[in-house]
């Protein structure tokens, strides 16, 4: 759905609609824990590019610098190996905590795209069926992974459409593609291009009515930095995310597989356990980084909850983050008494913004008469980092065509961003849209 400045706002509970800002004190404390939160090496800037990257927690950078100096391998009987072994054990536990997993196995790759390809291939090689179902909304990690293995294994590849009114997957169309011969449903939880969240609970429930033992893979890369995931409650079979998108370390992609996938034939050392997906050892600094991510979110959770259980604190922290980011999005739309919001800036169009509770923190916008690359250059020249998503780009072409929208500027804030940064973005946007800059 395309919104203009005259679009109507759906009435709903005020906090649910508008979110809830962190206090200024907590916001500054949060920012103090993150490297380069407002600057690059030599330039002060605003970072609204968190769907493509994210700054990193200071503690993770410092920890990686220390850990990478240790020569020991974590399985050795040396004093230096002991802390490394603990980092890996704790990291694996905290990976499961992030997924909400009490069962199954964790696998790690250099990227989450590689992890998603790996899990897709294992399931499709081992599960009988003549077809696999995915969607137009997918990141290439899941769409292309499913199509690649479908072609390799001689299975039919079926793609469900995007609902052009909501920007999410058309659930009726998706369900029409599933039958008793579907070996895998591969679906994204939230779009990294337009920010819309799929109704995964409904998709899983209704898909399993068609095929009760259907295998389902969920790409949660975009959603996990902004909301809670619970693979046990969803009863899915595989899931993945990238720690760097949630203030963690680059060079690590994390996957989870259910018990019934974990013991499928897959690349592993043959004398090891059947459910072991580790090939050669986990990277200690990356695994320790997962623990620091959870520590950080639990610390935020402790500001809003008296819980002592680590998962409960994590969930409380993510719910608080979700509300803060919704407050950021609401201000991006409606502005403040100091500056107009994007809904009231002439020559700006927004997409799929009619319900902030059904999207992650991404604002897809288009400026009349200006391609997204030109707009991107203008934002960067004014020290605001956003990104373009165009039909010329292999990572976004299918999604934009499926959604029926042109190329966009993707504005992706995160919970560390401030009211002042939002207002400066709005001032610059008004100038770009008016041709002043």
Q: Tell me the pLDDT tens digit for each residue of 192-244.
A: 999 999 999 999 999 999 999 999 999 999 999 999 999 999 999 999 999 99
Q: How far is CA 349 from CA 364, 374, 409, in A?
A: 9, 16, 10
Per-residue pLDDT, averaged over 49-77, amounts to 93
CA–CA gap between residue 386 and residue 377 (Å, rounded) = 9
Angle between helices 310-334 and 81-99 in degrees, nearest 10: 60
pLDDT tens digit string along 336-379?
A: 999 999 999 999 999 999 999 999 999 999 999 999 999 999 99
Is pLDDT above 60 for 10?
Answer: no
Pair 122, 178 in one domain: yes
Pair 171, 75 in one domain: yes
Pair 288, 411 in one domain: no
Pair 363, 279 in one domain: no
Spatial contact of 270 and 249, defined as CB atoms under 8 Å apart:
no
Pair 51, 84 in one domain: no
Spatial contact of 431 and 40, defined as CB atoms under 8 Å apart:
no
CA–CA gap between residue 18 and residue 193 (Å, rounded) = 22
pLDDT band at 15 (very low <50, low <70, confident <90, very high): confident
What is the predicted pLDDT for the residue at 111?
A: 96
Q: What is the CATH number of the domain that holds 291?
A: 3.40.640.10
Pair 222, 343 in one domain: no
Pair 395, 273 in one domain: no
Pair 52, 8 in one domain: yes
Domain count, the chain: 2
- Phi and psi (nearest 5°) for 389? -130, 115
Spatial contact of 93 and 314, defined as CB atoms under 8 Å apart:
no
Q: What is the CATH number of the domain that holds 331?
A: 3.90.1150.10
pLDDT tens digit string along 153-175?
A: 999 999 999 999 999 999 999 99
Q: Domain range spanning residue 410?
A: 2-56+322-434
Pair 67, 156 in one domain: yes
> Residue 102 domain-assigned?
yes
Per-residue pLDDT, averaged over 236-253, amounts to 97
> Residue 244 domain-assigned?
yes
pLDDT tens digit string along 385-422?
A: 999 999 998 899 999 999 999 899 999 999 999 999 99
* CB burial readout 274-292, b (16+ within 10 A) else e: ebebbeeebbbbbbbbbbb
């Amino acid at each position: 759905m395309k919104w203009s400045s005259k679009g109507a706002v759906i009435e709903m509970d005020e906090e649910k609609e508008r979110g809830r800002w962190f206090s200024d004190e907590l916001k500054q404390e949060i920012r103090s824990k993150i490297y380069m939160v407002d600057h690059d090496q030599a330039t002060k800037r605003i970072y609204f590019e968190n769907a493509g990257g994210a700054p990193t927690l200071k503690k993770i950078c410092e920890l990686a610098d220390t850990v990478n100096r240790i020569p020991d391998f974590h399985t050795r009987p040396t004093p230096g190996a002991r802390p490394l072994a603990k980092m890996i054990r704790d990291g694996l536990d905290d990976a499961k905590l992030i997924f909400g997993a009490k069962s199954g196995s964790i696998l790690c790759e250099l990227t989450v795209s590689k992890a998603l390809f790996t899990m897709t291939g294992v399931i499709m090689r081992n599960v009988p069926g003549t077809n696999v179902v995915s969607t137009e909304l997918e990141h290439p990690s899941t769409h292309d992974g499913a199509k690649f293995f479908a072609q390799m294994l001689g299975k039919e590849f079926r793609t469900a459409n995007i609902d052009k009114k909501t920007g999410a997957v058309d659930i009726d169309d998706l369900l029409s593609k599933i039958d008793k011969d579907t070996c895998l449903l591969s679906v994204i939880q939230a779009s990294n291009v337009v920010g819309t969240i799929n109704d995964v609970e409904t998709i899983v429930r209704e898909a399993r009515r068609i095929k009760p033992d259907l295998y389902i893979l969920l790409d949660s890369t975009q959603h996990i930095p902004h909301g809670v995931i619970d693979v046990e409650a969803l009863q899915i079979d595989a899931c993945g995310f990238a720690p760097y998108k949630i203030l963690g370390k680059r060079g690590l992609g994390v996957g989870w597989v259910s018990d019934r996938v974990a013991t499928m034939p897959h690349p592993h050392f043959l004398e090891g356990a059947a459910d072991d997906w580790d090939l050669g050892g986990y990277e200690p600094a990356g695994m320790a980084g997962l623990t620091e991510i959870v520590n950080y979110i639990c610390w935020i959770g402790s500001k809003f909850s008296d819980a002592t259980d680590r998962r409960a604190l994590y969930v409380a922290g993510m719910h608080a983050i979700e509300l803060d980011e919704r407050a950021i999005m609401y201000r991006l739309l409606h502005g403040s008494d100091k500056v107009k919001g994007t809904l009231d800036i002439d020559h700006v169009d927004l997409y799929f913004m009619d319900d902030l509770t059904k999207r992650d923190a991404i604002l897809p916008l288009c400026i009349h008469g200006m391609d997204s690359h030109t707009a991107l250059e203008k934002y960067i020249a004014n020290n605001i980092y956003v990104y373009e998503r165009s039909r010329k780009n292999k990572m976004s072409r299918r999604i934009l065509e499926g959604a029926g929208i042109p190329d966009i500027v993707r504005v992706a804030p995160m919970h560390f961003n401030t009211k002042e940064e939002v207002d400066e973005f709005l001032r610059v946007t008004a100038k770009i849209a008016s041709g002043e800059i």
